[in-house]
Structure 1
Amino acid sequence: MAATSVLRVRHRLAELAEAHDVPGASVSVFADGEVVDAAVGTVNLRTGVEVRPDSPFMIQSITKVWTATLVMQLVDEDLVALDEPITRYLPGFRTADRPASAGITVRHLLTHTGGFEGDLWAATTTDDDALKLFVDEHVSRATQYLEPGRAYSYCSAGLGVLGRLVEALRGTTYAVALRRYLTDPLGVDEVAFDAGEAMGFRTAIGHVRPGPGEPLRTLPTWAVLPLSNPAAGNQLAMPARGLIEFAQMHLADGRAPRGARLLSAESARMMRTPQVAVPATFGGPVDQGLGWRLTAAGRVAEHGGDAPGCAAMLRLVPDRQVAVAVLGNGGDMTGLVSTLCDELLSELAGVAPRVLGSVPHQTAVDDPDRYCGRYELRNRVAEVSTDDQRRLWLTQEERNEAAWMSMLAGIDSRPETFELRRVEGGRFARLDREGEMAGVVEFIDTDSMGRARFLHDGRAAPRVD
């Protein structure tokens, strides 16, 4: 990439940050064998300290791909087999359904097909035993909604179990293992696992709107997620350049930019191989690999992350040796990330943007009873209802730890209602109050009464009425 690209990328990042009211953002791009970094805005609206390319931002769930890579290193060393039950390595592992959980394999956890409640955000401790206690005390009580391997349902708790697997087999904490086996060999120095470590760097803090239309406000705390599950990405922070160093290693099938082989070529490619279809998606089929999510007919390997006040995205195009990492600390990060990533991948790798599609015209459904009902997960409840015009409406509300985290962040969390319009089969577009596309949901499986068993929007919420 030409030197002028630095100015061009920075200019575009600044435009989008202003358009989407993002306080601070950072981007790193790898293409043509070169890396371009750009940063704009402030790490904290209170202090006005500017973002620099070495400023760490929370990467949230992108951490899951780092965890998957640590697990695949164990596979390379013949310490772990993908299709062995996790109990072979963690004998005390179980969910609330002991017989079902005995069949959960390492591959199930890597592909989000373990079938148990995934959003377990209760705190344990801030000590070295935090992840062990998370698995022993919280995962052990997790509801088993689906039989292992039955279907994809995003499961942060499953990555926590894998993080504990890494701890057990490496004989150290997850943080030490990540540094020893990945960030140190990659030369990524600006890494923080908690607020104490974050203070050593020019680290970004998140910003939120307390209510609709209100100005952005700095989070009252550095992180709203507890330290209990570092392997899923609760607080890990690093610069965009750190993500690109990691991406370059994967693009090189396991060889780090400095030459060290950190992962076998076979394992690196296997991570980018489709394992299971992801329901409730748009813009063409989406598959789950071993850690990576695969889009654009398998050309793009990606993972995002978000929490109140922050968002992150890492996308790779192996056949063109291109990678883009974008990090931000508030505002409409979804708009900034999707626009910038789409533009860069289109220009540098010929990848067409994924689009939600047009709003379906047909409003009435012939079989509302199949869908209407109450669907629950630990941290969210959803009600699907119909009106006298046979239109479907979805109302969602946070509860338990999700509601607590919103309160901690200073966000006025209220129920949200969307109209549902059929796209095809059990897949429906979700429309916001302005009638614009706001995502997709899918009803899957059928009970003995002909009703949908699950409402799926990335997570499979079971019917409870």
Structure 2
Amino acid sequence: MTASAGTARDLQERLETDLFRLGSAVGVPGASVALAFGPHVVEAAFGVVNTRTRVPVTTDCLFQIQSITKIFTATLVLQLVDEGLVQLDRPARDYLPEFRTADASAGEQITVRHLLTHTGGFEGDLWQPTTSGPDALDRFVRDLVAQASQHSRPGQRFSYCNSGFGTLGRIVEVLRDATYEQALRRHLAEPLGITELAFSADQALAFRTAIGHVRATASAPLRPTREWALMPPSNPAAGNQLALSAGGLLELGRLFLSGGRASNGTRLLGEASAALMLHPWLRHRGVADSHQGLGWRLPRPGVAEHGGGAPGVATMLRIVPEQGLAAVVLTNADAGGQLTQQLLDPLFADLAGIAPPVAVTAPAVAARVGHPDRFLGRYSTRQFRFEVTSDDEGRCWLTREARNETVTMDRRAGIATMVDRREIRPLEHDTFVAMSEDGGVAGTFTFLEQGDDGRFRFLANDRVAPRDA
């Protein structure tokens, strides 16, 4: 579909109208949106950056983008591939000899491609603080990744891995002889014309900057988080603190609409490398048509995206390369995820013919789990403990309890950490859904690998949680 001059005016009006309507309806304090369709770029802003100060959101306002930073990191790595400095299927240790996990033999086998596709097989959420200086990623790899538990063989399965992207960021630092911030600014932000960005709270003070908003309890009012950055600066390559404007982040998305060229025509990424990043390398568990690229998620054919989130922050970058369509939604509340879906799904359907994702149908109330003993027990990652139990009526339940740095993060945000307990119902094979209070589907997960005793060894959704010994 080709955009006309009239389309730009129509899009601007639609974006502003829909953003105001949906932002008010879902209860997001503030949001900034940018959209590119063909040669046209439109932007809109809604609400306030902080409910305490009541400063309005403008289109140049900065929001933390969290895990969308991984697309910057992956692009920096593929630039190194273009220059012949990195090969995707070589072990990461070839470029970073100090890289290892708790399983020394596995650490020797983990390749750059494994890290880019979240298939390294080691603990992904290492949120302990190291330093805030130029040695942050060096210390992250040496002190934290080196002790990361190995739950799967390299390349065996997908498990979202922040620590893998911290390792990639350190590879960039070593090969560029620069800090991660310096490399990102020099090789991507400046050539893309991105000037509205900050890597820390100190830098964010130079801009009009949004702060996240949370509820202390489910029924409490929204309040600004107690601190602007809840995650430590130890892993900037995975997205702990980076903040951008919606228009600035849109330039990264537009790079992939043009096969690796910036909007001014400068080639920043080889066409083949841009295509590699958007190639479906493996299928995500339990989600039809959803695949993993290099950094990018491919939730359905023709679409690539990456979201970002932390308490009080919800963001999205979504593109349809073949239709020349890209969009960014940045918000300062958890409900921003709902706003993103309601805003972008109709737009992408109308502009690019992309049908909204098919919602998972909740199993019937009478659905029961056959042979529940296979699933019962505790499963843990560093940040969460899960327990599967059954009751006298034959129903199964999943309890999730935060631990370690997640508890600390909640306290810093001003959230009372709660234990979440939901009924789970079988969907198909070993995939289940967790039920929400209103009878809808709150999420899906899959049990993996039955042992000799018949019990499953892992509980997996976006991350793999091994059964406790």
Q: TM-score range by the shorter chain?
A: over 0.9
Matched with 2:412 is: 408
Give, as a single letter, the amino acid of the residue that structure 2 aligns with 1:256. Answer: A
1:285 Cα offset (Å)? 2.3
Matched with 2:64 is: 58
Aligned residue among 321, 330, 335 for 2:333: 330
Match runs of 1:28-427 below 5 Å: 28-281=34-287, 284-297=288-301, 299-361=302-364, 362-427=366-431
Secondary structure class of the residue paired with 1:200: coil
Is 2:442 aligned against 1:438?
A: yes
For residues 84-124 of structure 1, the C-alpha deviation after alignment (integer angstroms, 9 at most, x for no partner) is 00000000110111111110000000000000000000111
Most deviating of 331-340 and 183-192: 331-340
Cα separation, 2, equivalents of 1:225 and 1:209: 18
Unpaired runs of at least 5, structure 2: 1-6
Q: Is the 8 A contact 1:428 1:440 kept in 2?
A: yes
Matched with 2:3 is: none
Q: Is the 8 A contact 2:118 2:160 kept in 1?
A: yes
Q: Is the 8 A contact 1:56 1:237 kept in 2?
A: yes
Secondary structure class of the residue paired with 1:2: helix
Cα separation, 1, equivalents of 2:304 and 2:451: 35
Q: Is the 8 A contact 1:442 1:456 kept in 2?
A: yes
Q: Is the 8 A contact 2:260 2:267 kept in 1?
A: yes
For residues 409-438 of structure 1, the C-alpha deviation after alignment (integer angstroms, 9 at most, x for no partner) is 010111101111111111111102232211
Q: Is the 8 A contact 2:8 2:41 kept in 1?
A: no
Cα separation, 2, equivalents of 1:285 and 1:375: 27
Matched with 1:451 is: 455
Cα separation, 1, equivalents of 2:106 and 2:322: 39
Cα separation, 2, equivalents of 1:172 and 1:431: 47
After TM superposition, the score normalised by the length of structure 1 is 0.98
Cα separation, 2, equivalents of 1:208 and 1:238: 21
1:246 Cα offset (Å)? 0.8
1:457 Cα offset (Å)? 1.2
Cα separation, 1, equivalents of 2:218 and 2:71: 33
Most deviating of 367-376 and 167-176: 367-376
Cα separation, 2, equivalents of 1:130 and 1:301: 30
Per the alignment, do residues 331 and 458 of structure 1 end up closer, same or farther by CA in structure 2, a change over 3 Å counting? closer
1:339 Cα offset (Å)? 1.1
Q: Is the 8 A contact 2:284 2:291 kept in 1?
A: yes
Secondary structure class of the residue paired with 1:91: coil
For residues 372-425 of structure 1, the C-alpha deviation after alignment (integer angstroms, 9 at most, x for no partner) is 111000110000111122211100000000111001101011110111111111
Identity among equivalent positions (%) equals 50
Give, as a single letter, the amino acid of the residue that structure 2 aligns with 1:379. Answer: Q
1:369 Cα offset (Å)? 1.2
Q: Is the 8 A contact 1:20 1:331 kept in 2?
A: no
Cα separation, 2, equivalents of 1:250 and 1:20: 31
Matched with 1:13 is: 19
Give, as a single letter, the amino acid of the residue that structure 1 aligns with 2:355. Answer: A
User: RMSD of the alignment, in Å?
Assistant: 1.0
1:32 Cα offset (Å)? 2.8
Q: Is the 8 A contact 1:364 1:389 kept in 2?
A: no
Cα separation, 2, equivalents of 1:405 and 1:280: 29
1:331 Cα offset (Å)? 4.6
Cα separation, 2, equivalents of 1:2 and 1:253: 23
After TM superposition, the score normalised by the length of structure 2 is 0.97
Cα separation, 2, equivalents of 1:227 and 1:272: 28
Cα separation, 2, equivalents of 1:417 and 1:131: 36
Cα separation, 1, equivalents of 2:299 and 2:251: 21
Secondary structure class of the residue paired with 1:67: helix
For residues 137-167 of structure 1, the C-alpha deviation after alignment (integer angstroms, 9 at most, x for no partner) is 0001110111100100000000000000000
Q: Is the 8 A contact 2:64 2:313 kept in 1?
A: yes
Cα separation, 1, equivalents of 2:171 and 2:334: 36
Most deviating of 189-198 and 31-40: 31-40
Give, as a single letter, the amino acid of the residue that structure 2 aligns with 1:50. Answer: P
Q: Is the 8 A contact 2:255 2:261 kept in 1?
A: yes
Cα separation, 2, equivalents of 1:5 and 1:278: 33
For residues 340-368 of structure 1, the C-alpha deviation after alignment (integer angstroms, 9 at most, x for no partner) is 12111111111111133221114211121
Cα separation, 2, equivalents of 1:355 and 1:463: 31
